[in-house]
Structure 1
Amino acid sequence: MDLSMTAGVETATATGFADRSPDGGGTDTRDAVDYVDVDDRLVSTGPHGRASDSGLHHRTAATILLSEDGSQVLLYRRPLASRFYPGHHDVLVGGAPRAGETYRQAAGRRLAEQLRVRPALHEVLRLRAATPAGPCHLTVHLADLHGPLRPDPLRIPHHEVVPLVGLLTEPPEPFVPTGLVVLRRLFG
């Protein structure tokens, strides 16, 4: 798979990621996150989910896992207890970086937490997105899908590897909107 795609910035309309909290019901608010301005410059830090209260953006790091030849992609279903997009399908595995954490560090940590894997990451896209939690800067990485996945069942209750072409032409419903935006931007 060619992971040398050019990063760019565009605007999407919604996002959702495998939740981080142990109960699958939402992100853990005990960890501070960075609040940033419209240009992704650090303004302050605070609890997760509160950046928009101050008119600021939050950050999200996500990864799409592809087979080595790029023909298949990991598809998962979000927990029914998720705060955002419960029971929806998605391809973006990730979440909010902790305060001071880079997008790459957060993407790697989230893969380890949610799927118990640590693949090499390649940043391919940056988006500004309007999310249910408020405006966000999303950075998308690609990684090779190899070796056994051992998903945390509270965060990823169902997963499968599916043909990328089929997912682009007939995505299952319901699907997290930004996951489709990213797939079509990168592979459509």
Structure 2
Amino acid sequence: MDGADRRVATGVRGRRPLDGLFHRVAATVVHDGRGRVLVYRRPDLARVLPGHHDVLVGGSVRSGESYLDAAVRELAEEFAVSARPEESWREPRDSPDGPCRLAVHHWRLPADARLAPLDAEVAWHALRPLEELLARPPRPFNPVGRDALLRLARLGVLGTPGVPSVPGVPVPQ
């Protein structure tokens, strides 16, 4: 992808894109609508962010796939849920695989839904209060996920009105 998110070439997953090009990533923050957010820990042997805790469920967008289709696929692959998340924003970011275009989604977990980790990318998971994740995140924690939590809280889509008051946590711009 170029800087305007237009496809100009395809490559192999896990390899850095050619200079000046971006790969696409779709990620979803799962919440229960009552101020709790899904947090999970990646296995210690994961290729990307080993042993890190995160709130972004996602991965690379495949060739010919939309960001939304990738978000739906990743939620099904990693937690065995059928979901239709909503996209909140897209932005260029740095990633372990080089520059990317990140699409952040959010999805409200139905009260009767059960999350069942299905792949080797989830070592542990739980729903935790947003304020707890912002004030005392488990360590190590993906900083991009923390940024996404702050921004989604500011947008008011996580079941809490506005940004929680957490001492020492700046309000995102």
Would the TM-score normalized by the shorter structure come out above 0.5? yes
* Corresponding residue of 1:172: 138
**RMSD of the alignment, in Å?**
1.3
Confirm or deny that 1:88 pairs with 2:52. Answer: yes
Which residue of 1 is the match for residue 126 of structure 2? Answer: 160
Residue 121 of structure 1, aligned match among 68, 74, 85: 85
- TM-score after normalising by structure 2: 0.83
Greater RCO (CA < 8 Å, at least 6 residues apart): 1
Q: Output the CA distance in 1 between the equivalents of 2:149 and 2:83.
A: 20
Taking the aligned partners of 2:37 and 2:15, their CA distance within structure 1 comes to: 32
Aligned to 2:103: 139
Counterpart-to-counterpart distance in 2, 1:171 and 1:43 = 38
Q: Which has the higher strand share?
A: 1
8 Å contact kept, 2:33–2:109: yes
Query: What does residue 37 of structure 1 align with?
Result: 2
Q: Distance in 2 between matches of 1:53 and 1:84?
A: 19
Shift of 1:46: 1.8
Q: Give the letter aligned to residue 17 of structure 2.
A: S
The answer for the alignment partner of 2:116 in structure 1 is: 150
Structure 1 stretches of 4+ with a deviation exceeding 4 A read: none
- 3-state SS of the aligned residue for 1:86? coil
Unaligned segments of structure 1, at least 5 residues: 1-35
CA distance in structure 1 between the aligned counterparts of 2:16 and 2:44, rounded to whole angstroms: 25
**Which residue does 1:19 correspond to in 2?**
none
Question: Is there any run of 5+ residues in structure 2 with no aligned partner, and where?
Answer: 154-162, 164-173
The 8 Å contact of residues 85 and 107 in structure 2, kept in 1 or not, is answered as yes
Q: Distance in 2 between matches of 1:102 and 1:84?
A: 22
Q: Is the 8 A contact 2:89 2:105 kept in 1?
A: yes
Percent identity, please. Answer: 45
Q: Is the 2:11–2:17 Cα contact (8 Å) retained in structure 1?
A: no
Aligned match for 1:106, one of 51, 70, 74: 70
